[in-house]
Structure 1
Amino acid sequence: MAASYYNSTVSKPAIPEDAPSGDDLTAHHVKDKHGETVKFHNPHPSFGETLRLTAFAMGRKMIWTRLMGDMKDPDVSAVKIPTVKPTFLSPEGPPPTALRATWLGHACYFVEFPSGLRVLFDPVFEDRCSPVTWFGPRRYTPPPCAPADIPAIDAVVISHSHYDHLSHTSVSAIAARHPGAQFFVPLGLQRWFRESGIERVTEMDWWEDAELVLKAKAGGDAAAAAAAAAAEAKVQTRTPDSIAARVSCLPCQHSSGRTHNDRDHTLWASWAVSSGGKSVWFGGDTGYRAVPRVAEGVDDYGPEYEALPRCPQFAQIGRLRGPFDLGLIPIGAYKPRWIMSGMHADPRDAVEIFKDTRCRQAMGIHWGTWVLTSEDVEEPPRKLMEALKKAGIPEKGVFDTCATGESREF
């Protein structure tokens, strides 16, 4: 079990004054005749009609698309996404002077804030993102580390219930090793966590905020332990007596489900975390605009399609909560576009989301780990650079990708 120098408290989630008003707050709730929320949906036309089909109808469409040769698994036999062994700052030492973010594969990022706060987003360390260990998408890029290699975790943020974003094995291992870690999840997922034996969980709806406060344990445990470790290492420490963070559950455009009969029974979300004067927006998994089937090589952002509805929630996030120092924005799992675009952004969409949310810098997530769709697995970074160039944004240094396990400072 990892040492914890802090006790944490979380305020009751609440809608702040800078949230949208009126029907916007509950437009994503589907209610029964008694007014009780029974499931969730995407309220905007940008989600498209294809993804509103039943699970059976969607499965039939995808099988037919595969039979017609329009959805082929990419070859990963020669693929090698760069991987490095991650380095994490010691919890006994000083916090980083900048925002420090480490990509651990797919949508999983570990972020160390200048305040000393350490947050893990969408941790999945397993070989397969599947309900079983013997079937389903298998990693072609190994995880750069195990949960036990992360020395301190104060909070874990989950975007939604799909297996490539929520792993029972991973969250259980994290909770066991870091019993003080607080889990933040969208509406409907608290029950799943409690049934998994994880009690420190806060469930939130879109636009709700919660304040996370970490305070040094009574008796000076934090300061004493840090000082002792620093003396042994002959370095200075400045472990803070308390750490405060604002955690915000925000909209995105996606779906949820872990079985054949619980589709959209729990909410999906993007998240913002602010602490120590730095802020991160985590896109999780999201679409931006549903596009129709177009001929190969046709630009679905061209004149014929430029008026297609865009999800208005990202500009709303940027206006009400931005700007953000760092955006973690999905760029992969987007082909065939006519099926996937409503719920999975491609690199061009990602750049538009980047601009809408007013992120100062960004890193691409949701690629380079599992075969989930039919694009070449090394295509997303290339397409991202093309999209940045078209948008008049520098191709390097603003919205980047990195090696699995690599850390960047912002």
Structure 2
Amino acid sequence: MNACTQSAAVSEDVPRHHTAGGFQNLYGSAQQHKGLWPYLKMRYFDERFPELPSAFPFAAIEPDHELISQPQHDLQLTWIGHASALIQIGGRNILADPVFGERASPLPVAGPKRYSKPGLSLAQLPPIHYVVISHNHYDHLERETVEQLGDSVQWLVPLGLKAWFNDLGVTRVVELDWWQQAALGGVQFTLTPTQHWSRRGFGDTNATLWGSWVVEAGGRKVWFGGDTGYAQPLFQEIGRRLGPFDLALIPIGGYGPRWFMQEKHADPDDAVRIHQDLGARYSIGIHWGTFILTSEPVEEPPQLLAQALARYGVPQDRFLVLQPGQTWALRTQTTAQAQPADKETGGVR
């Protein structure tokens, strides 16, 4: 079993994001989550949600199984769909928020249904060493996947979630607070803040923590955003403490309507600002193109992202969207003709 070292808390005082009954955000209103009934009113009376698309231009493609099974680069990312991704770094295979089921719901026959199949199935994955979880919502934490992977992998979760895993018989779980770190088998994991919320049942709102992950190995550094609203001081602090990053996985969907979602879900404009705040060399858009969870048209996030990149003067090839199953790699060029500034390039396969 890999050795694990966990850092001490930043201060002996109770952190500001801790409350008597759980956790809170550091920015925005005191309660980002407006509650179930306001959501249902918005969903079914105030806003018109899109229909399931008959054809989706970003549908899953056949993955490059050879490249995934035998990585040729020191950093590879394969988008599975929504917030789920396979990160291959430093000779380790890391899953982020793996969700493979048909619905992001506690019910097998109701709730948001997947309209784009996973880019990789569980059976197609290479041997997984670690799994990072951003928070406990059903579109990020799937019980069936946890039960299937079980103790064959090492799980890393935000504070308060370890007991839920233990109840399922899963014991290889490292639980961290914001800014705490775990060193495992040559990979360093840091849980960093986001602006979001948590709930899995009817009486556990914000009882467990939410967050993002920094993964460092082999001289490379990745930030996985999970799900978050925008708070500039938060992301600037992450960039200042731990950046710059070779790659950031940044949410670009789940933002409509803005009057309801703004504080907890980034839109493409927010995503570009997060990219800049973090000091990311490359970014890939996640948290879109899989489930209808909010009111924006399903094809809109990449369109608005392209507009935001132009507005902020960020080259289009520095913040990409992928199709499920598509692999992005940070390539190291070794040709004598390569100039120093061009020795590393990011590209898709």
Give TM-score, length-normalised by structure 1. Answer: 0.76
Letter in 2 for 1:327: A
Letter in 2 for 1:151: P
State the SS of the aligned residue for 1:104. Answer: strand
State the SS of the aligned residue for 1:40. Answer: coil
The answer to whether the aligner puts 1:349 opposite 2:326 as a matched pair is no
Letter in 2 for 1:105: G
Match of 1:143 in 2: 118
Q: Deviations over 1:318-370 (max 9, x none)?
A: 00000010000000010110110111000000011111111110000000000
Match of 2:336 in 1: none
Which of 300, 309, 313 lines up with 1:379 in the alignment? Answer: 300
The answer to whether the aligner puts 1:275 opposite 2:217 as a matched pair is yes
State the SS of the aligned residue for 2:309. Answer: helix
Offset at residue 49 of structure 1 (A): 5.9
Matched residues in 2 for 1:284 and 1:66: separation?
Answer: 23
Q: Is the 8 A contact 2:59 2:117 kept in 1?
A: no
Match of 1:321 in 2: 242
Which of 37, 57, 63 lines up with 1:60 in the alignment? Answer: 37
Q: Is the 8 A contact 2:190 2:214 kept in 1?
A: yes
Match of 2:200 in 1: 258
Match of 2:32 in 1: 51
Residues 1:378 and 1:319: Cα distance change in structure 2 (over 3 Å): same
Q: Whose radius of gyration is greater, 1 or 2?
A: 1
Letter in 1 for 2:51: D
Letter in 1 for 2:63: P
Match of 1:236 in 2: none
Letter in 1 for 2:149: I
Give TM-score, length-normalised by structure 2. Answer: 0.89
Offset at residue 193 of structure 1 (A): 0.6
Matched residues in 2 for 1:203 and 1:49: separation?
Answer: 25
Which of 26, 29, 53 lines up with 1:77 in the alignment? Answer: 53
Residues 1:89 and 1:320: Cα distance change in structure 2 (over 3 Å): farther
Residues 1:212 and 1:260: Cα distance change in structure 2 (over 3 Å): same
Match of 1:407 in 2: 327
Percent identical pairs in the alignment equals 42
Matched residues in 1 for 2:129 and 2:266: separation?
Answer: 29
Match of 2:287 in 1: 366
Q: Is the 8 A contact 2:93 2:126 kept in 1?
A: no
Match of 2:23 in 1: 40
Q: Is the 8 A contact 1:96 1:116 kept in 2?
A: no
Residues 1:212 and 1:67: Cα distance change in structure 2 (over 3 Å): closer
Offset at residue 172 of structure 1 (A): 1.5
Match of 1:291 in 2: none
State the SS of the aligned residue for 1:9. Answer: coil
Matched residues in 2 for 1:199 and 1:67: separation?
Answer: 40
Q: Deviations over 1:260-297 (max 9, x none)?
A: 11111000010000000011000000001xxxxxxxxx
Unaligned stretches of 5+ in structure 1?
A: 1-6, 32-37, 214-243, 289-309
Match of 2:158 in 1: 186
Offset at residue 78 of structure 1 (A): 2.5
State the SS of the aligned residue for 2:32. Answer: helix
Letter in 2 for 1:392: G
Which of 82, 85, 96 lines up with 1:109 in the alignment? Answer: 85
Question: Which runs of at least 4 in structure 1 moved beyond 4 Å after TM superposition?
Answer: 88-93
Match of 1:14 in 2: 7
State the SS of the aligned residue for 1:84. Answer: coil
Q: Deviations over 1:51-84 (max 9, x none)?
A: 354x2xxx3333443455x411202232312311
State the SS of the aligned residue for 2:3. Answer: strand
State the SS of the aligned residue for 1:135. Answer: coil
Offset at residue 409 of structure 1 (A): 0.4
Which of 155, 159, 169 lines up with 2:130 in the alignment? Answer: 155
Matched residues in 2 for 1:344 and 1:175: separation?
Answer: 30
State the SS of the aligned residue for 1:380. Answer: helix
The answer to whether the aligner puts 1:27 opposite 2:16 as a matched pair is yes
Matched residues in 1 for 2:33 and 2:292: separation?
Answer: 23
Matched residues in 1 for 2:175 and 2:65: separation?
Answer: 28
Letter in 2 for 1:26: P
Matched residues in 2 for 1:157 and 1:88: separation?
Answer: 22
Q: Is the 8 A contact 1:91 1:152 kept in 2?
A: no
Q: Is the 8 A contact 1:162 1:256 kept in 2?
A: yes
Matched residues in 1 for 2:121 and 2:33: separation?
Answer: 37
State the SS of the aligned residue for 2:275. Answer: helix
Matched residues in 1 for 2:181 and 2:190: separation?
Answer: 4
Q: Deviations over 1:13-41 (max 9, x none)?
A: 2148xx6x686x7111002xxxxxx3111
Letter in 1 for 2:267: D
| Count, aligned residues | 329
Matched residues in 2 for 1:22 and 1:342: separation?
Answer: 29
The answer to whether the aligner puts 1:248 opposite 2:190 as a matched pair is yes
